[in-house]
């Protein structure tokens, strides 16, 4: 959530920046400023009246102690009158604050200066590419056939047990998942990220904290009996570790990594997008998260992009890095880089990571702050990225490395998988 004071001081800039994200309800910005004006007015009125009540109450106490009943009674009468004003003021104050927050929650984060204009993925900018696209045999198979051929994943079984989009990994397929998770976590902890194993369900407050609510309500599975949400990414529970926290400047940066299954309803998806591993309701992912000094978040974003790139390189997969345009970015992000790997048999790029700087948008909701050198409390910046999401990595590994007699795994995985080939 943007800070009201920032909006007040930078009204025109806010509107201009929001346009880059194709957010055109500019009236909302002025509504927010007007509501904030009203809030101040009402609060001043309330504070003044309450101050008088408080001081009168103290005086009443003094009179009572001295046994001056008449004086006390006179003051009580005055307070009674004041109180008839206070109740409506208080109601109005709560009301205005609530309306202000509601409006503020509707404003997406402002895109940073580097974000290109554009409405659709075609406007994303390819920052760089790496790896070599393999040349496959005529008889090469898409991953959903390879997983059957080598008995790695049973999609139909998952449909029977739960529903479509909930695959069952079997044998080598299950082991490959485990190997990848282990490898990714080790890779991240070696770079100084502290490993977490968080809850896979969160309460409403946490879902608001990272911005899943109220924006993406329909995308999360919801356990109504307990009012819990199944996490769509480890970002949610792990970033909330620092909700309502004031850190010391020396504690920064906070670097965390976590494996978790991710649950996504993916309402509205269909067709070739959801074939095989391309889009699932439940999948495995390892996430990296940093909470940093606001002056550092730009450079930390680059650091995280380089980190993920190094990891992808170690898997010998052809990849490219995209700088997302305003229209393709998430609600909470100020700048996002997507990583895609080339899935050779499908002949298409698949997103396997998304690295974003949220600046103070999440931390403002989370109230995650730090005390600076001058003893002033300010908001930290938060960033996160996938490192990495498994299914599409698996799809690409299988398709790109298939040979007549099996699938050759990249050297980085041999130790973890316990073999060089899937046969």
Contact footprint for RNA (CB under 7 A): 5, 39-40, 43-44, 46-48, 50-51, 53-58, 60-61, 64, 76, 79-80, 83, 246, 369, 371, 377
We find the least distance from the C-beta atom of residue 399 to RNA, in angstroms, to be 38
Q: How far apart are the first and last CA of the chain?
A: 50
Strands 254-263 and 245-248: unpaired
Gap between the Cα atoms of 174 and 164, Å rounded: 18
Q: Which is nearer to RNA, 80 or 194 (CB)?
A: 80
We find the least distance from the C-beta atom of residue 48 to RNA, in angstroms, to be 6
Q: Which is nearer to RNA, 19 or 53 (CB)?
A: 53
Q: Which is nearer to RNA, 216 or 293 (CB)?
A: 293
Gap between the Cα atoms of 406 and 356, Å rounded: 37
Q: Which is nearer to RNA, 16 or 47 (CB)?
A: 47
We find the least distance from the C-beta atom of residue 306 to RNA, in angstroms, to be 33
We find the least distance from the C-beta atom of residue 369 to RNA, in angstroms, to be 6
CB 300 within 8 A of CB 313: no
Helix then strand then coil, % of the chain, to nearest 5: 50, 20, 30
CB 260 within 8 A of CB 200: yes
We find the least distance from the C-beta atom of residue 32 to RNA, in angstroms, to be 13
DSSP for residue 136:
P
CB 366 within 8 A of CB 239: yes
We find the least distance from the C-beta atom of residue 260 to RNA, in angstroms, to be 18
Q: Which is nearer to RNA, 154 or 360 (CB)?
A: 360
We find the least distance from the C-beta atom of residue 252 to RNA, in angstroms, to be 16
In 3D space, the residue among 332, 302, 315, 284 whose CA is nearest the CA of residue 106 turns out to be: 332
Q: Which is nearer to RNA, 61 or 171 (CB)?
A: 61
Q: Which is nearer to RNA, 40 or 310 (CB)?
A: 40
Q: Which is nearer to RNA, 6 or 421 (CB)?
A: 6
For residue 80, count other CB atoms closer than 10 A to its CB.
10
We find the least distance from the C-beta atom of residue 94 to RNA, in angstroms, to be 7
CB 103 within 8 A of CB 35: yes
Which token pair is 108? 């997406």
In 3D space, the residue among 332, 380, 103, 107 whose CA is nearest the CA of residue 209 turns out to be: 332
Residues 6+ apart with CB under 8 A from 374: none
Which token pair is 149? 């051929």
């Amino acid at each position: 959530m943007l800070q009201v004071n920032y909006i007040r001081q930078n009204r025109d800039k806010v509107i201009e920046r929001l346009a880059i994200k194709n957010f055109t309800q500019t009236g909302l910005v002025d509504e927010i400023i007007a509501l904030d004006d009203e809030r101040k007015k009402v609060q001043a009125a309330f504070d003044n009246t309450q101050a008088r009540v408080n001081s009168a109450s103290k005086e009443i106490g003094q009179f009572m102690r001295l046994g001056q009943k008449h004086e006390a009674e006179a003051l009580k009468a005055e307070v009674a009158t004041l109180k008839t004003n206070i109740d409506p003021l208080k109601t109005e104050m709560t009301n205005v604050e609530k309306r202000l927050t509601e409006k503020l929650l509707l404003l997406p984060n402002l895109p940073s200066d580097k974000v290109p204009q554009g409405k659709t993925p075609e406007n994303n900018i390819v920052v760089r590419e790496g790896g070599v696209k393999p040349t496959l045999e005529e008889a090469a198979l898409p991953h959903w056939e390879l997983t059957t051929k080598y008995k790695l994943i049973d999609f139909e079984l998952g449909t029977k047990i739960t529903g479509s989009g909930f695959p069952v990994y079997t044998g080598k397929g299950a082991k490959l998942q485990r190997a990848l998770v282990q490898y990714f976590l080790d890779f991240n902890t070696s770079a100084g990220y502290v490993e977490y194993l968080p809850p896979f369900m969160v309460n409403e407050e946490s879902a608001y904290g990272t911005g899943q609510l109220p924006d993406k309500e329909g995308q999360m599975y919801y356990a109504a009996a307990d009012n819990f949400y199944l996490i769509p990414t480890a970002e949610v529970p792990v970033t909330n570790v620092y909700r309502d926290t004031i850190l010391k400047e020396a504690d920064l940066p906070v670097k965390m990594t976590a494996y978790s299954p991710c649950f996504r309803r993916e309402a509205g998806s269909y067709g070739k997008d959801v074939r095989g591993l391309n889009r699932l309701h439940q999948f495995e992912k390892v996430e990296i998260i940093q909470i940093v000094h606001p002056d550092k978040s730009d450079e930390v974003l680059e650091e995280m992009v380089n980190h993920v790139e190094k990891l992808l390189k170690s898997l010998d997969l052809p990849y490219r890095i995209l700088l997302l345009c305003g229209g393709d970015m998430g609600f909470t992000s100020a700048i996002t880089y997507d990583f895609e790997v080339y899935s050779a048999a499908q002949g298409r790029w698949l997103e396997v990571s998304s690295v974003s700087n949220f600046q103070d948008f999440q931390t403002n909701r989370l109230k995650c702050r730090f005390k600076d050198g001058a003893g002033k409390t300010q908001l930290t910046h938060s960033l996160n990225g996938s490192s990495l999401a498994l299914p599409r990595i698996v799809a690409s590994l299988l398709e790109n490395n298939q040979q007549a007699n099996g699938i050759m795994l990249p050297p980085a995985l041999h130790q973890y998988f316990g073999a060089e080939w899937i046969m």
